[in-house]
Amino acid sequence: EYGDPVPLVAYAIAQSTQLLCFDEFQVTDVADALVMRRLFRHLFAMNLVMVATSNREPSKLYLNGIQRTSFLPFIDDLKGRCECHDLESEIDYRMLAQVSNGARTFVYPLNAQTDRDMDELFNSLTAGRRVSPQTLKLRGRELQVPRAGVGVSIARFSFNEVCGRPLGAEDYLGIASAFHTVLIERVPQLSLNEVNQVRRLITLVDAFYDKRVRLIISAEVRMEELFRPEGAATSEVHGDLIGTAAYVPNAADEVFAFDRTLSRLKEMAAHEYLVRTAGHEERCAFQ
């Protein structure tokens, strides 16, 4: 009753699964790192096959993480059981998609005209419907949506409302499940001095991208300048959290992750992405 559950979980997975696939495999938490090592050791012993994509080669997983030495045997297991292929290319294929038909989903700089443009776009998308606050219920708690069209799946937030408070992946997935179009206004230029907001924006874009949400942004600067790597020193960021179970990525991790976010934002602004999303009635507002 009080024994180790990891072998039982591994056995249950292996009973119903022969091939386990992961997209964007990563490790960011010390507890996950330690459990993962033990879980996969059992899975590999039962001849389960794993296929994974990752932005990092196995030797760089959980780099600079707390208690990483305890995780290193898992890296050895991966190298011994998995065949690694480097698919890095100088071409970012998301960047190749061109915005056509005049679609504008990213407007800058922040000024009165940009605010008017966002107002007009939101009014056009909601097509005269009543706009009011809404409440999303997420696993026993509530998430307030300040402005949403009644009867249409369109919401509007300020950057501070979605990235300036402690929201996580579950919150952003909840928003993405409820709304097919989301406007986020007044996004500032970010640096490592705003590392928490940077991480939340990365998580938000990942969730919206996976759910095929149409994301419309007004920002202080053009898309390529949203994130400046300068800011608080890595040691200062680490200093607040050393000794906790949280893994705090270093500056290189943030730059690496935001490069992917920028690539996704580029794709999400492309006409090809917009026509794959739901909500045909409002599509004309993008053109």
Structural domain count, the chain: 2
8 Å CB contact between 223 and 185 = no
> To 5 degrees, how large is the angle CA 218–CA 224–CA 227?
85
Mean pLDDT, rounded, for 130-152: 91
Task: Report the C-alpha gap between 76 and 78 in whole angstroms.
Answer: 5
Confidence of residue 241 (pLDDT cuts 50, 70, 90): very low
- DSSP assignment of 238-280: HHTTTTSSB----HHHHHHHHHHHHHHHHHHTSHHHHTTSS-G
Helix (H) or strand (E) holding 4: none
Domain that holds residue 233: 93-286
Domain boundary among 81, 112, 142: 81
Q: Domain boundary at 20, 46, 81, which?
A: 81
Q: For residue 30, what pLDDT is reported?
A: 81
Burial classification of residue 12, based on how many CB atoms lie within 10 Å of its CB (0-12 exposed, 13-18 middle, 19 or more buried): exposed
Q: At 140, which helix (H) or strand (E)?
A: none
Residue 86 domain-assigned (yes or no): no
Structure tokens at 27: 């490790």
The per-residue pLDDT for range 182-210, each reduced to its tens digit, is: 999 999 999 988 989 999 999 999 999 99
| pLDDT for position 229 | 79
Is pLDDT larger for residue 201 or for residue 282?
201
Tell me the C-alpha distance between 61 and 249, whole Å. Answer: 11
Confidence of residue 159 (pLDDT cuts 50, 70, 90): very high
Average pLDDT over every residue of 154-173: 95
pLDDT tier, 2 (very low <50, low <70, confident <90, very high otherwise) = low
- The residue type at 202: I
Would residue 263 count as lying in a domain?
A: yes
Q: Is the pLDDT of residue 251 over 80?
A: no
Phi, psi (degrees; rounded to nearest 5) at 25:
-65, 125
Question: Is residue 42 scored above 50 in pLDDT?
Answer: yes
Q: What is the pLDDT of residue 250?
A: 56
d(CA 94, CA 92): 5
Q: Same structural domain for residues 246 and 171?
A: yes
Residue 1 lies in a domain: no
- Nearest CA-CA partner of 212 in 159, 267, 276: 276
Do 140 and 30 fall into the same domain? no
- In the predicted model, what is the mean pLDDT of residues 158-170? 95
The answer as to whether 153 is a domain residue is yes
CA angle 112, 113, 116 (to 5 degrees): 90
Residue predicted with more confidence, 215 or 62: 215
Find the largest Cα–Cα distance for the chain. 65
Mean pLDDT throughout 8-24? Answer: 92
- Residue range 256-263: average pLDDT? 87
**Region 103-118 average pLDDT:** 90
Mean pLDDT of 36-65: 90
